[in-house]
Structure 1
Amino acid sequence: MTSNRQDAWSQDEDLLLAEVVLRHIREGGTQLQAFEEVGRKLSRTAAACGFRWNSFVRKQYKSGIELAKRQRKESKKQPVPSPAREVKQPDVKHEVASADKKVEPQSSKVTLNGVIEFLEGLKDNLNQDKELESAYKKLEEYVGKIEQQLEKLKEENSVYKEKLELLEEDHQSLLSIFEKARKMALLQESDDKVKFQMDKNGNLQRLQK
């Protein structure tokens, strides 16, 4: 008799569970038989395997399930063997009987370790969902703050742009004044009798000595 495990499922165990279930679907078997097979290989209960399949693994193999069902349907369309070749009938009955016998000991475990493991798996999934939700809310808040900072920077950039335009105008005015002063100095050097004076608007006025 195998021991019952309560630890988390690994990726390899999920892969084995998916392969066995898909094979049973493809070959016309039942999922219960698949769960029992996986349970024997992994030392888990059939109920635990069923809970794991229905709560998590099945969602990852939707396309594989549809393909397995189509293959099973196509295999049923093949010609039925003649009565002379129907020798496997007793084996089928034996398999059904053995399957029925295997269900009984497992059914008593559904309300114990299997349910506990399933609930623990749900709890882990809920905790993960809560962590993702919390992280998403924090990300939203962070994005909101970044957007506010961006708007503030745009406003500051607009103000600095206006100041820069004013500085450029003042710079051009200074250059114009310096050019006029230079010309005035040249004129004074060439003619000592003539003097120039700059008014408040930056214009030169000629003064007689």
Structure 2
Amino acid sequence: MAIFINGYLHPAPRHHHGLVKESILRGFLGLNYPLVCTAAIKRIYSVMRRYPGQVIVWDVIRAEVYNVPLSIGVEGHFSKCNIPYMRSAIDKLATSGLPIWLTEEDVHYGPNQATILEQVIREAHAHPSVNGIVLWSAWDSKGCYRMCLTDNNFRNFPTGDVVDKILREFFGAVIKATTDVRGFYKTSLTHGDYEVTVPDLDI
């Protein structure tokens, strides 16, 4: 399962400790560039050394600045959907040549929430420069921030039905493959249960 690290360098004091917290906070408030850089570099290396090769994207500051590899993160909080505007905005960002991630994607609660969510996901997925979509829909028993996919018994809301339908449509294809000479085959799959069939047991 691909892992996405969100906001591990953040100006809010509660997210850091000791010298790093003090340096980052003082730097952001006082615009002390060398102090911010020093604290940020220490923080980045202290975290990244723990998870080498395990994380696909490091969201450094509030889904706005990425490093290793460099990408563009666009927060996706929607209340309505203007597809032509969304497409033109992504097109403009794509001129940078950098891969784009739609992060924190959610749709404000309303009668058209599921419809808008589907429109946004399909438009983002169809753009060749969009490398990933991260939904802002973490479940909480007291209620989600703006968009839940399930109720407290994990029964789908209409938004959850949309996500399941799109996952089946986009990623439900049957994969037929042959292993390499060492017996390995590598591919990218979404999180879930899979059935594997090996037709030739004499290998």
TM-score normalised by L of structure 2: 0.20
Structure 1 length normalisation: TM-score? 0.20
| Higher RCO (Cα < 8 Å, 6 or more apart) | 1
Considering only CA atoms, is the larger Rg found in Structure 1 or Structure 2?
1
